[in-house]
Every structure is written in structure tokens, then in C-alpha cells.
Structure 1
């Protein structure tokens, strides 16, 4: 598919290899994290940009002699899988990048795989994590997002860019501080590409974050100035951006200074309005909020008068519909560690006196919470909730737990903690909310032991 990359002399088994070393490998199976498993001289190698069954030439990246595994990237496909397709984003195409003696940009590591096969592989990866970490077998079906396009493009409502030394819009190469200029972002919603930020002189800016309301509307562009950049220069960059609100983001505090327009986005999910500050967390796929809220409500069936806890609650994506469902005779505890997200939640739940919004660590808040809970919903970060939080949830004795996860490994690990306490996995839905990447999202309903 490309010109062959010359191989250097092979190393002896167990030795450290130079990063320019290449080898021919046969790919065995997918692995968590966007990798595929192969073996070289008796050692496991995690390979990116491959497919099961392929014969490929790889260039090694991490090859420490004492490492339990090595890493490598495909530089040439010798025998292709029938599921390999042309990558929709040239700068993220690893084979094309290798021919230019560089790495591909990150963010679309599954772009070389047909969309249906991506979902089949993700299902296999999820199943493997459940078997290995939770010691349970479960058939998984990965569902596309509602209204997903046939090509899986145009879904990102949020995107982050770097800026190169010449002031051009850029993105980082995978696992590298090096950046490459870009002129499009095919995974992004059209409104992001319509800004044509790659035509601007962004000198003096280190990072550019762009967000668009899930249902459409004016984008918000956040600029992170480089060290030493004057306010006048930042204002000049802002004035060159048409069709968007613009602010300056302090990445340390998360605070946003308005330059023009507004510093927040108006989101709407299933008829509910939300206000989300520019730096605040929100689901990235344009259809993700609707898909996940629907899954939570269908799975947990909140009833009037019930007492819910919404842990890692963010701006209140789930808290608001849960508060409406349980009504004033019920109660909802919202716990979020981010001060900015908690402020958003207070705005979004203004006047809901039956909702308690607490900013703080989830384990600290649960440790001091004595009121009974009928249902617990948690949506932790990629690292998961952990054993302590799971034990606190189990101790609250809810009728059900809803677990929203963005990482099958941490979910499976936490699921194992619930299993150890006698809980069972009832509903499990997995969503392909990150097409052309290895990421996925899931919702699970867990039930306590029978009385």
C-alpha cells in the first residue's frame, strides 16, 4: 500500500531495540487502548493502526529490554484485512505518515477500519475486559449513536487544537509534543470546520478549544495564550475569528475571560435547557447527551418521591431530569469535584429545593452522608470510581445502581467490586459515541443481592 520501509538488522531476543527498527508481524487480536496484539521473538507487542489477521511491517517505538511488552506502529501493510478502508483524514493516516517518516496525529486511530467492524472490535474488547477483570462472560452489542452518519464523521461538538511555531492551527502527533498543521477536522461538526481557523494567524496562542452546542448554534472559541503574549495580541487574534464567541481560558483555574460574545453554551437535551460554561465538561458527541440521558431514565425508572444520588454529576446532565422525575417529594444529591461544573449545576437546578448540590470528593461526601438513598447513579472519570466509593455505595443499600462509564477496563474493575458484595449486572448498553477512535461509552444497571 506504500513503499516499503527498510528494516534494520534484527536485535537479539531480550535486547533493547532502536526506535528505527522494523519487523514483520502477524496481528492476532484487538486489545484495550486502541492497540492490537502481535508477538516478536517471544515478546508481546502492542501495535497501533492494524487489524486482526493482517501481516504488517511495524516500526518499534517503546522497546526497553526489561519491559513486559513493546509498542509499535504499522508502517506498511503486507496482507490487508478485508475490513481495512481508506482513512478519512490524511494526517491521521499512519501508513501515509510513515511514508513521510513521521507519526500520525492522534484522535482517529480506528479510521482505517470499516465502521461496522470498529463496533464489532469494540464489543470484543469490552467482553474481554469483563472476562479478565470482572470474571464474568457477557455478550456485548455496541450501538451507534442516534442519527449517526453512515461514515461516522461530523460528530465532535468539541475539539482542542495546538498552534505551531508559525502560528498555524495544528494537532499533536500521537504520544508526542510535536505538532502538525491541519486544515480540517473531519470528526468535528460542520460548524467547527466552518470557522476555518487554519486560515488565521494564531501567533501568541498556545492552544485553541472550540465548542458548539449539541443542537447547533454559535460556536465558542477559547484561546490559551502562550507565555509572554500581550493582551493586545490575544485581542487581535480574537478579532480575526468570525462567527463565534471568543474568550481567554486559564487552564489552571478553568476561568474564562470574555473577549466577545458569551463565555457559555446553551444546550438542550430532551426539551431541557442547560447552561454550560466554556471550560465545563459536556459530552463530546452531538448525540451523546440524548443517548445517555435516555439510557439512564429507561434503565433506572425514577419514581416520584424517590431519593437519588448523582455522583460525578458535572453540570447536571442527569441531575436535572432525575430531579424532575422524583418531584418535590423526592430528593437528589448531586456531587461534583469541579468548582466550575458545580456552579453550572446550581444554575441549571435553580429553584429545585429538593436537590442538594455538593462540591467535593465523592468519597468524602458519601462518608458524611447519612440520609437514605433509593438509587445511586455514577458517571466517574476514566479512572473509574474505585473500591472505596463502591463500598460506600453498597453500604447505602440502594435498590439499584446506574453506572455510566467511558472506559471498559475501569468499569470492569469496579464491577468486580460490586460482584464481591453480591451484586449482579442486569442491564448493559454500550454506545459508539467516539467513531473512528477506540473509545466507547456504556450504561449499566446493577442490582443488589436478593433480600
Structure 2
């Protein structure tokens, strides 16, 4: 049911919030038209403001601006800048990055489990309900789901102040805190600094307490003198670097151009904005899940031949090398040149590791091999049908698949099933509290 409350343009409507959907919103309907509503909870009656509409559009988008009948799982949002009702009462949308902050943590995980089950059912034909596990501090009785991000990015306002984008918008709104970030990031107080001449700021503060890195992405024409002035405003014990947005080249401004991370008994160098799991407990959690599946099933042993695909700086490669020992071998494949160079530095003491920089599909096509087990941790877009078929052709006994997107993951599971494989194990982790994202680790094996 819905009620038009304003003008024929239907800027605001009253709707009943329906089921959760992938992407951080719930489904509502108005006169038969689907509306993807953010900042609601299934079962609520709310007033919404349309943010993306049009008579020719297949669906509309909207934000909740007032709750008329609240869910018992609704809580006060912890961050004013991301609170939809509060932000719209001041005439503007909320910033992104905490779109589930109005939902109790247990219900957040329940909603994410519903999304995962729906994607598997719709895209892979798999009927499977998997609970989303709490991780780290949020797993405790008093968990808040805050202060977990060891890496975060910021946009800049026209006046050079730290800010964040609204959802699906070029608009940037100033912020003076980031509650999801670890204290070492908030303690920098970047919102007090004049950042004119900068387009974006990336900050990494390793969970092991090692030296943080502030990465500046300068606007076109910003001179070295301006970068030096910004660097001088930051604490002396912070590394500062600049990255060319076109080439990705990282230039030292002070200290190091990389951070030192720790996981699974290994040290890792990660340069610039190279990929690393952002939740402070994610590396240990994911390594444990992967090795648990592969070693627990007898697929990873001393002497095994394995591959780590989309390997990054070597988070999984190092523990895989430990497991296979010097009598086995691990192939590491990473597309990003800088990240692959980090992997070489991080794994120089492991002679059983071979590192190849290049796209996974190209490497597998040019150097076809057979493996006992495979691990893949692809970007959000997933592996895709061509890569899945290449993996199956290498005839491994098992594949561990780490995914940060339930839709691309479910699609790829469908491809594996078409190739005669089955989902033999699945765990899901809430590595992104207060957002709609989740991480899954799956075990895939040939049928029979």
C-alpha cells in the first residue's frame, strides 16, 4: 500500500517497506512500480523521498525521511552524517558508508543472510541458508560494530575540507568523524586540515599499530610546494605519499610509501592504495576459513601443488606456502603490477612460491597446469564464466572461493555447477558492520 502525500510529481510518498534486496536497500511498491528504499527495515511504514525517478524508469530509488511505524530492530543511528532522517531534515541526503546504522547488529546479519540465500537461489538454483557470523569486537555481547576499518577513503569539498559522497551522487558533504574507522585514523583529525588541491585522501592504519600512511591524490596542476604544505600539517610520525590518479605511481612525501601489515604469523608490505582487507580482524578470519576448508578436507598437504589467484600482496599465499612446505609449490597470480611487486618482497624467503604478474585468465591460458587445490579471491565483479571453465580444466580436487559480493559469487557458483561441480561448504562473515556488504568463503568440489 502507498499514499501520495505531496504533489503530482510524487517527491514524497508513504510506503510499506518490503523485503531486503542486494545493494543496501529494501523493496517497496507504489502503483505497481518497484521502489528501492534505503534506510528502512522490512515491515516498517515510512515516508520516503524519491532520489531517482522518472516515468520511463523501470524502478525508482528513495531514502526514508520519516518512520511512521518502526521495526523493533530500529536503533538510533550512531553517526549524524549518515542518518537519513536527520540529514534530510537539514535539506540534504546522508553520506554513504553506513547505510545499515539504523538497524540492530543481529538484525543486520539476519538481513545479509537473507540476501545471500536469495542470490544463491535465484542465480545458482541452490537452496541454502547460511548464518552471517560476527567477527572481532562485534561478536561480543556489548559489540558496537564500530572502529573496525583500518583503511578508509575520503572525498574533498569544494573548499578543501574532508568529506564523503552521498549515495550515487557527486555531492560531497563535510565530515568531522568516521566512527567505523579505527582510532588511529580519527586521531589524525584530517577534517581540521586545509586540503585544497587534493581530490581524494586514502588513509591506512594497520591493526598491528605500525606506522600509518596518508595517501594524497592531487588535483591536476597541484604543485609540489602545495603537497609539502599539506604534509607539514600532519603528525611527524605519519608517512605521507602522493599517487598519480592516471598512472597509479606513488611518490614519497615523507616516511614510507607503504604500510606493514601482520596476519597468520607473517609480515606483509602493502604499497600505496594496494589491496588489503579493511576490517582489522578480516585477514586472520579469512585465512582461518580458507585453510580450515582445504586442510580439513585433506586437499592441502605437504607436497601439494596449489595456486593463489587474484593473490594481492600474498595474504593467502604465505600460509599456503607454509602448508605445502618446500616439497610443494604455490603459484601466485596478481594483475596489479605494484601489488605483485609487494608479493615478491613479502614472499622472497619462500622458494616454493612462483609469482606471476598478469590477468588470471591470460596466465591460465598461456601456462595451463594441473593443481591439487586452487584459491581465488577475485574483485567484486567475480571470476566470470571463462575463468571458472579454466579453473575446472586444471582438474583440482577442490577450490576455495573468497568473495565480497553475493551476487557475483552466486553467479559463479552457477557456472561451477554447470561444469559438474558442487558447493561443498560455505561460511559468511560480517566484515563490514553497518553496511550491506558481507564476505563469504566457499569450498567447491567436483560432483562424485
The answer to whether TM tops 0.5 is yes
Rounded to whole Å, the distance in 2 between the matches of 1:336 and 1:103 is 38
Query: Structure 1, unaligned stretches of length 5 or more?
Result: 1-5, 11-16
Alpha-carbon deviations, 1:128-159, whole Å to 9, x = none? Answer: 10111010110111011134361100000001
| Conserved 8 A contact 1:23-1:58 | yes
Rounded to whole Å, the distance in 2 between the matches of 1:379 and 1:50 is 32
| Conserved 8 A contact 1:220-1:264 | yes
- The equivalent position to 2:170 in structure 1, one of 165, 174, 177, is 177
Shift of 1:44: 1.1
Shift of 1:240: 0.5
**Alignment of 1:447 onto 2:437:** no
Rounded to whole Å, the distance in 1 between the matches of 2:66 and 2:328 is 60
Rounded to whole Å, the distance in 2 between the matches of 1:69 and 1:178 is 22
Q: Aligned residue for 1:247?
A: 241
- What are the residue-to-residue correspondences of 1:274-423 with 2, within 5 Å? 274-301=268-295, 302-423=300-421
**Alignment of 1:100 onto 2:94:** no
Rounded to whole Å, the distance in 2 between the matches of 1:147 and 1:422 is 40
| Conserved 8 A contact 1:255-1:279 | no
Rounded to whole Å, the distance in 2 between the matches of 1:146 and 1:91 is 25
Rounded to whole Å, the distance in 1 between the matches of 2:116 and 2:46 is 25
| Conserved 8 A contact 1:85-1:112 | yes
Q: Secondary structure at the match of 1:258?
A: strand
| Conserved 8 A contact 2:5-2:14 | no
- What are the residue-to-residue correspondences of 1:198-237 with 2, within 5 Å? 198-237=191-230
Q: Aligned residue for 2:65?
A: 75
- The equivalent position to 1:156 in structure 2, one of 149, 156, 167, is 149
Shift of 1:354: 2.1
Q: Aligned residue for 2:267?
A: 273
**Alignment of 1:110 onto 2:100:** yes
Q: Aligned residue for 2:55?
A: 65
Q: Secondary structure at the match of 2:286?
A: helix
Q: Aligned residue for 2:111?
A: 121
Question: Which deviates further from its counterpart, 142-151 or 176-185?
Answer: 142-151
| Conserved 8 A contact 2:74-2:104 | yes
**Alignment of 1:24 onto 2:17:** no
Rounded to whole Å, the distance in 2 between the matches of 1:384 and 1:342 is 19
**Alignment of 1:138 onto 2:128:** yes
Q: Secondary structure at the match of 2:52?
A: coil
Q: Aligned residue for 2:30?
A: 40
| Conserved 8 A contact 1:87-1:112 | yes
Query: Structure 2, unaligned stretches of length 5 or more?
Result: none
Rounded to whole Å, the distance in 1 between the matches of 2:392 and 2:131 is 28
Q: Aligned residue for 2:186?
A: 193
Rounded to whole Å, the distance in 1 between the matches of 2:324 and 2:56 is 56
Rounded to whole Å, the distance in 2 between the matches of 1:187 and 1:419 is 38
Q: Secondary structure at the match of 1:61?
A: strand
Q: Secondary structure at the match of 2:356?
A: strand
Shift of 1:427: 1.2
Q: Aligned residue for 2:44?
A: 54
RMSD of aligned residue pairs (Cα, Å): 1.3
Q: Aligned residue for 1:3?
A: none
Rounded to whole Å, the distance in 2 between the matches of 1:228 and 1:312 is 34
Shift of 1:7: 4.1
Rounded to whole Å, the distance in 2 between the matches of 1:328 and 1:271 is 18
